[in-house]
Structure 1
Amino acid sequence: MQTLYTFAPIIVLVVLFLFSAIKVLNEYQRAVVFRLGRVLQAKGPGLIILIPIIDKMIKVSLRIIALDVPGQDVITKDNVSVKVNAVIYFRVMDPVKAILEVEDYMFATSQLAQTTLRSVCGAAELDEILTHRDQINDQIQSILDEHTDPWGIKVTNVEVKYIDLPQEMQRAMARQAEAERDRRSKVINAEGEYQAANRLAEAAGIIQKYPQALQLRYLQTMREMTYESKASTILPIPLDLFALLKPQGSEKTGDKE
């Protein structure tokens, strides 16, 4: 019993040592260990052992981080004031660089994203930002990836979330869209009249070449008139009468000459 009391402090010290020395890291975590101020290689995942008081550990997550870039007031190349918001997806590829090369890689990446978003959108016109958003996203991603590579960070994707336009610009764009729709409507209407005129000219040529077609058209018109108004009385006139009048008129004209 006395022996147990003698070794009890030692047992307690061993338990405390193991409790403070043994650490467990998840699969997506890495530990950057500093020993007496000097960095060791990143450790993990799983079970790692640290020397109490001597070793200091900083955990770094390797999962993709979605960083929301606050709305930035931008003046585009064509002098239009807009407010642009974006989201950036990045991950830590080298935990040691992420800790040593920059004080706070989250804050640094956020500030760099804001300035890059303003500079890229400010160098483009409003129509380019609205219609070529993929090119704007790729350009921002390329710049961010180039600047964050020394920090051990990889920017995987950039997406411009929304573009807030002033009310005056929204009304102007609505008027422009309405005018464009009116223009297309007039063009389509004129194209339809042109095609109809061509078809009528072709039909007139066929009737002139085949006079019997005029008689068929005359009968068809009478049939349509009976469908529209059944209370009306229709008196058909043979078209041969008009054919007989035409030669007589031409002969009288020849006598006068």
Structure 2
Amino acid sequence: MDERSAVVVEDDPDLGDAISQVLQQAGFHTVVASTGADALALVHGTAPDLVTLDLTLPDIDGVEVCRQIRTVSDCYVIVISGRSAEVDRLIGLEVGADDYLVKPFSMRELQARVAALFRRPRGTDPAVAVAAAAPPARRAEPPAWTPPPGCDDLVLDESAREVLVKGAEVDLTRTEFDLLAHLVNRPGVVIARDDLMRAVWASDYVPDSTHVVDVHLANVRRKLRHAAAGNQWIRTIRGVGFRYDPCCT
């Protein structure tokens, strides 16, 4: 099995070394970046499996770094930050982070969160996850997949981890895809937030609040609605959870 790789983005050298050592013990090859520019260069050049990302960097704000990482990579991203306000957590998740860890934290908790992420399936080979400045090549035509029952517009292929809306690919993060897939596989069934968290995070560790589910699904609905000019398919059932309706408008 190939060794996994990680980029540790942290401007505190002692903490960066500590995180690096923990990840090395978990089987990762690690490199440390102390600035946002260095971090982006490493992500472009090494196609890591994991990025741990401090939000407070000397040059580029970590939120912008995360946003730029998501344009070129589907690696797991764990934000590690001293910003503990809910708004900071939500912003981190909205720009594509898979998890958010508040300083100070224990290294055992970091290990548990990394292990939880990697129990979820990877969507692409890290060797091809990064393109340089050029945009990825587009398909000549969409694959001939069978749409979910009752819906001609939304196509979700779990083996390829791709979503098409009216033939156009929709770019979802790993967490967004997993949540959508869990709902699509149970059309018309109301799924509670707690059940979605257990299914998607797939471990004894789950995020601190079910509100992260709402944030990620809000992103999914925004992207689907944009692609389908109004359709969003996911219904919020107040006080309970969410339901996938194949052809709702």
Task: Bin the TM-score by the shorter chain.
Answer: under 0.3
Greater share of helix? 1
Pair member with larger Rg: 1
TM superposition score normalised by structure 1:
0.18
TM superposition score normalised by structure 2:
0.19
Greater share of strand? 1
